[in-house]
Structure 1
Amino acid sequence: MLRLLPSAGTPRVPLRGMLVYALALLFFSGMDAVSRYLALRHPVPQVAWLRYGVHLLLMTVIFGPSMGRTLLHTQRRALILLRSLCLFFITLFMMFALRRLPLAEATSILFVAPLLVVLLARPVLQERIGVVRWVAVLVGFSGVLLVVRPGGDLDAIGVGFALMTALAGTAYQLMTRILSHTENPIVMLYYSALVGTVLFGVSLPWFWFEAMPSLLDAVLYGSLGVLGFVGHLCFTLAYRDAPASLLAPVTYLQLVWAGLLGWLIFGQLPDGYTLLGMLIVAASGIVVAIAGRAQDDVAG
């Protein structure tokens, strides 16, 4: 079975971990770009079901022979199912947001989630926050407001879906942090794929191929599951070589990937105010991550 954490005596390579993590973020941005392309042409539940279905198939083929029934073994099944439900809503809301918003702008709004996690870390996780992180969170929210500013060109309904995605993402991140102490990441990932496949599959009789996909669309449908699976796998493997505190600031590289893919695929470039807001959000998130790492070092 694939090792998810370094074994005793195996040296970590932080730079390699950061590079693998950056690659994971590129796969996630690519998945969002493909989702946006397909969601503009086909029903969202159909796109999402095929994305999760391919993901589930790959995990079953790759991990099933070695893990068997342990793929479903968990100590806290109810919480894992709730976490998987959050990911279901993340996918649903995000795809609806991508139908109405450019890729870079939608991605930048999603980064409200890490800031909300900081706000909820004290009451939910009993973590200390500190003045620096409080200030960084407030500045980060100002950056988001700059992106979605009144009078801007962004679709209000699309912004609403992006914000709902961020709220679901906040719950998802908090539950991931709680479960990470007791659960196998592969098992959590398998449950996410299974729940998404089942829930989106329920809607298929109402949406199944309203418009038949072209050959290109069929290839892109298959790539969704591959991008999601490889992205999550790289995301997990990155933690073999680098601690979470070192990887957290790298997360904001996803804004860069989203901007580049939005430009290359859809010809969409954020305006000056939006770029400034994105930079503020990214800078605030990096400060939050670095301040949290310094606080953990002091506590340790």
Structure 2
Amino acid sequence: MPAGTEYPALVATGSTVFYTHSTNLSSEGESDLRITSLTFPQLHLRLPNTNDASALLRLFTDDRNVQHDKSCAGLDSSDAIEHLIKQWQVVDLPLQRANIVIEIDGKTVGTGGLGWIGIRKTDGKLIGDAGLMLDTCYRGSDYGYESLCMAIDHGFAVLGMDEIHIACVDANTAFKGLMNKKLGFPADAIEDKLFGNEWIWRITKDAWEDSTHSAQGRRSGDGSGTTTVGTSEILIVMMSIITILSWTYILLSPAAIPGGAFGPPKLRPLLVVRGVAGFFGIWGFYISLRYLALAEATLINFLAPILAALLLGLLPGQQRCSVAQILAALIAVIGVLCVLQPWSAHITNTPREHALAIGAALIGVFGGAVSFLTMSCLGEHVHPMTTVAYFAPICTLLSWASLIIQQQGLNFPSTAVGWLFVCVLGILGFAMHWLLAASLMTGDSKRALHIVNLQVVFAMLADKIVWRLEPGWWKFAGAALIVGSVIFVAAVKEPQGYTLVGEVDEEEKIETEDANH
């Protein structure tokens, strides 16, 4: 339109499956914009007013909120905040911005919305730059995710955006985790000379509406985006597939299975222990993945084989770990501390998220260690497939039990792609558990047990390539310490070192063989 053209006020009210909104944006008179979450009724997005000044000043002067955002420079005084609010309250049509504040239980706790709106000269499309800042004490409860989803959906559906861009610096791992893992949109590397941003997410209207984060995707349930599927549901589907495959193998190859389909009677209690411990091992690891980076969760899991070695040294008939092996274990623990960086945990996770993730990961470590221990003690007297056939159904039953205890509804994948991912996970999990059991139940399981830890290389590569998360020098150093200790324990030969395979004496071996005939 030519200069001087009067634009009609943008007036709309509506309701979606996850928010309601009242929009009245006009260049003449007072404007109003209010978006209310239906998922969290106490959560509102609205235009700022002068009463928000003290809350915004506190927000912009907290280094934890602004350390990765150069656009907040200079917002450290009452005058600066007052000027900012006046600027945000001005509505020019066509829209140049749509800044909002985040309100929870009547308290202003963050900012967001579209800080810049303009037309791209190359194709004439309307572009909006979105952002989000939430006070640290309100993170970890999906408020940030829900606020960003409402702002983006409202931007496309009501404000008429064709594309919405979101950018951040590489050091902002928390926001990168929200965009890469929670929302799942691809990022592109950029060089932003103004604000120093290094990653940008360009979300088109079609891509947003096809995702399960949008109002349309949440309503239809058939979007192509990622769906947040519960840990127990993943385990139920995956372990059901492994149960079917393992028992099919056993029933089709009875002659190859010593002790019958259920194994030797004397070893069945140990097989049950392996199943229960294995459940807690994999459950703890999956829970920790909800809040920790893949490499971080995997590295914590490295404590499992070390703990298994220490526990074996306490069993009758097993020799204690040598001094060199204990020192290697301590070096691995130091490596884990380097990866976790507890002195800067607030940067990547809230205290609540971090405590939950670490607690679950440690439960997984203990469960995994006991599982390794039982498989080593079973040795060659049980077919590896028998251990898998015990582990998978026990894990399935306990996953169902956890849902019942927590009184949670079922949240299985809602898309064909989601089901495909879980089915692939089940098939690969079947191969992994079979091969892992076979390697640990041989005569030289020490090297096999420690080779398991080389998965850190693949985990860190996945975090870098898939999730665009930079490990940083501390994590590289921690990984080097852990892998180095693993290689040392596996390579050093000692004449009277411990063995990770439970040796069964000849009399017990004969008794077991007699029981099989």
- Whether 2:269 is the aligned partner of 1:54: answer no
| Aligned 1:56-95 pairs, distance under 5 A | 56-67=243-254, 70-74=260-264, 75-95=266-286
Comparing 173-182 with 139-148, greater Cα deviation is found at: 173-182
- Once the 2 structures are TM-superposed, how far is the Cα of residue 197 of structure 1 from its aligned partner? 1.8
- Once the 2 structures are TM-superposed, how far is the Cα of residue 226 of structure 1 from its aligned partner? 0.2
| Aligned 1:223-234 pairs, distance under 5 A | 223-234=424-435
- Whether 2:329 is the aligned partner of 1:130: answer no
- Once the 2 structures are TM-superposed, how far is the Cα of residue 187 of structure 1 from its aligned partner? 0.8
Specify the SS of the correspondent of 2:381. coil
- Whether 2:415 is the aligned partner of 1:214: answer yes
Q: What is the CA–CA distance in structure 1 between the aligned matches of 2:301 and 2:498, rounded to whole Å?
A: 30
One-letter amino acid of the structure 1 residue matched with residue 484 of structure 2 = A
Q: What is the CA–CA distance in structure 1 between the aligned matches of 2:498 and 2:242, rounded to whole Å?
A: 40
Q: 1:294 pairs with 494, 497, 501, which one?
A: 494
Q: 1:283 pairs with 449, 469, 484, which one?
A: 484
- Once the 2 structures are TM-superposed, how far is the Cα of residue 225 of structure 1 from its aligned partner? 1.0
- Whether 2:377 is the aligned partner of 1:178: answer yes
One-letter amino acid of the structure 2 residue matched with residue 282 of structure 1 = V
Alpha-carbon distance change, 122 to 246 in structure 1, aligned in 2, over 3 angstroms:
closer
> What is the aligned partner in structure 1 of residue 445 from structure 2?
244
> What is the aligned partner in structure 2 of residue 201 from structure 1?
400
Q: What is the CA–CA distance in structure 2 between the aligned matches of 1:260 and 1:245, rounded to whole Å?
A: 26
- Once the 2 structures are TM-superposed, how far is the Cα of residue 78 of structure 1 from its aligned partner? 1.4
- The answer as to whether partners of 1:39 and 1:99 remain within 8 angstroms in 2 is no
Q: What is the CA–CA distance in structure 2 between the aligned matches of 1:39 and 1:238, rounded to whole Å?
A: 35
Comparing 199-208 with 280-289, greater Cα deviation is found at: 199-208
> What is the aligned partner in structure 2 of residue 3 from structure 1?
none
- The answer as to whether partners of 1:113 and 1:170 remain within 8 angstroms in 2 is yes
- The answer as to whether partners of 2:239 and 2:393 remain within 8 angstroms in 1 is yes
> What is the aligned partner in structure 1 of residue 290 from structure 2?
99
> What is the aligned partner in structure 2 of residue 22 from structure 1?
none
One-letter amino acid of the structure 1 residue matched with residue 494 of structure 2 = A
Specify the SS of the correspondent of 1:266. coil
One-letter amino acid of the structure 2 residue matched with residue 150 of structure 1 = P
- The structure with the greater share of residues assigned to helix is 1
Q: What is the CA–CA distance in structure 1 between the aligned matches of 2:276 and 2:226, rounded to whole Å?
A: 21
Q: What is the CA–CA distance in structure 2 between the aligned matches of 1:219 and 1:268, rounded to whole Å?
A: 25
- Once the 2 structures are TM-superposed, how far is the Cα of residue 121 of structure 1 from its aligned partner? 2.7
Q: 1:119 pairs with 305, 310, 316, which one?
A: 310
- The answer as to whether partners of 1:44 and 1:92 remain within 8 angstroms in 2 is yes
> What is the aligned partner in structure 2 of residue 169 from structure 1?
368
- The answer as to whether partners of 1:94 and 1:162 remain within 8 angstroms in 2 is yes
Q: What is the CA–CA distance in structure 2 between the aligned matches of 1:39 and 1:121, rounded to whole Å?
A: 42
- The answer as to whether partners of 1:46 and 1:208 remain within 8 angstroms in 2 is no
Specify the SS of the correspondent of 1:201. helix
Q: What is the CA–CA distance in structure 2 between the aligned matches of 1:175 and 1:245, rounded to whole Å?
A: 14
Percent of counterpart pairs with the same letter? 24
1:223-249, Cα deviation, whole Å (9 max, x unpaired) = 121011112233355579994344344
- Normalising by structure 2, we get a TM-score of 0.46
Q: What is the CA–CA distance in structure 2 between the aligned matches of 1:84 and 1:223, rounded to whole Å?
A: 22
Q: Name the Cα RMSD after superposition.
A: 3.0
Q: What is the CA–CA distance in structure 2 between the aligned matches of 1:57 and 1:127, rounded to whole Å?
A: 39
- The answer as to whether partners of 2:285 and 2:364 remain within 8 angstroms in 1 is yes
- The answer as to whether partners of 1:148 and 1:159 remain within 8 angstroms in 2 is no
Tell me the number of residue pairs that the alignment of Structure 1 and Structure 2 aligns. 263
- Structure exhibiting the larger radius of gyration computed from Cα positions: 2
Name structure 1 gaps, 5 residues minimum: 1-33
Q: Which consecutive aligned stretches of 4+ in structure 1 deviate over 6 angstroms post-superposition?
A: 37-40, 239-242
Q: 1:141 pairs with 333, 347, 366, which one?
A: 333
Q: What is the CA–CA distance in structure 1 between the aligned matches of 2:369 and 2:498, rounded to whole Å?
A: 26
- Once the 2 structures are TM-superposed, how far is the Cα of residue 296 of structure 1 from its aligned partner? 5.0
One-letter amino acid of the structure 2 residue matched with residue 247 of structure 1 = A
Q: What is the CA–CA distance in structure 1 between the aligned matches of 2:440 and 2:267, rounded to whole Å?
A: 22
Larger RCO (alpha carbons 8 Å, 6+ apart): 1
Alpha-carbon distance change, 272 to 248 in structure 1, aligned in 2, over 3 angstroms:
same
- Once the 2 structures are TM-superposed, how far is the Cα of residue 100 of structure 1 from its aligned partner? 0.6
- Whether 2:355 is the aligned partner of 1:156: answer yes
1:169-195, Cα deviation, whole Å (9 max, x unpaired) = 111112221122532221111100121
Q: What is the CA–CA distance in structure 1 between the aligned matches of 2:244 and 2:426, rounded to whole Å?
A: 9
Comparing 68-77 with 83-92, greater Cα deviation is found at: 68-77
- The answer as to whether partners of 2:376 and 2:441 remain within 8 angstroms in 1 is no
Comparing 264-273 with 167-176, greater Cα deviation is found at: 264-273
> What is the aligned partner in structure 2 of residue 9 from structure 1?
none
- The answer as to whether partners of 2:339 and 2:474 remain within 8 angstroms in 1 is yes
One-letter amino acid of the structure 2 residue matched with residue 127 of structure 1 = Q
Name structure 2 gaps, 5 residues minimum: 1-180, 185-224, 500-517
